[in-house]
Amino acid sequence: MRPLKAVLRSETFRRVLCWLGAQYIRLVHASGRWTVVGGDIPRRLWGEGRPFILCFWHGRLLMMPWSWETRVPIHMLISRHRDGRLIADTVGHFGIHTVTGSTRRGGAEAVRAMVRLLKDGACVGITPDGPRGPRMRAGDGVVALARLSGVPVVPATYAVSRRRVLDTWDRFVLAWPFGRGVIVWGDPVEIPRDADADALEAARRRIEDGLNAISADADRRCGQSPIEPAPLPGGEEALR
């Protein structure tokens, strides 16, 4: 078993695995029939040269590289966990750069790096329920980053007609080849620099609700039942 473990942990194996993952993503996209809803939203911002924060759920990560215009630089926030390294190396095959850290756990350095990138004109991407959930519930980090940088948050998602939803915390959507797919963009959320705690919470809810709304819409467009967010503790859902 030791030689096998050594192979699985080797740099070469990781590189091959990530290359295969990228080829699978390309196969799913090339073999499918894809449409884009709301694509004018990012195109307008790209055309104006305005950076923004791309925001999508962790469970919808697989096909999101195809939502992006390759000529526009973007840096994804990726966790320091081993899974984060795999994601980083896989999306790197699509020209996507990465920032290592978290907006939730000891991520001050990562936040500062992303603020610098946004102020220099690059876009950044965040999964606001990552790296560990709860599923489809936005953390505070995304609104803090938007307030500090002064750029809008733009939600996006994808859905497919042929899929398997994995039994993971994020209900990861594994897309199969030869199906229909849709990428859906939502309305930007602007957060003023002088936003107080109540305004930040309201913006966080708009981002969360907006992402959940477009995710459900995308699933329905592909003939799938929407994936539900993780329940809120203490019956908070009824109070919202």
Nearest Cα to Cα of residue 156 among 207, 190, 202, 204: 207
d(CA 240, CA 98): 34
Q: What are phi and psi of 221, to 5 degrees?
A: -60, -25
Summarize the confidence of residues 101-118 as an average pLDDT. Answer: 79
d(CA 127, CA 157): 11
Summarize the confidence of residues 6-23 as an average pLDDT. Answer: 82
* Cβ neighbours, 10 Å, residue 30: 11
Q: What are phi and psi of 129, to 5 degrees?
A: -105, 0
pLDDT at 166: 97
pTM of the model: 0.90
Summarize the confidence of residues 119-126 as an average pLDDT. Answer: 96
pLDDT digits (tens, 9 = 90+) for 132-148: 899 999 999 999 999 99
Question: ∠ CA 109-73-185 to the nearest 5 degrees?
Answer: 95
Of all residues in the chain, the percent with pLDDT exceeding 70 is 90
pLDDT digits (tens, 9 = 90+) for 213-225: 999 999 999 999 9
Q: Does domain 2-226 have CATH number 3.40.1130.10?
A: yes
d(CA 155, CA 218): 13
Residue 79, pLDDT above cutoff 90: no
Mean per-residue pLDDT of the chain: 91
pLDDT digits (tens, 9 = 90+) for 3-14: 545 544 678 888
The interaxial angle of helices 141-149 and 197-221, nearest 10 deg, is 110
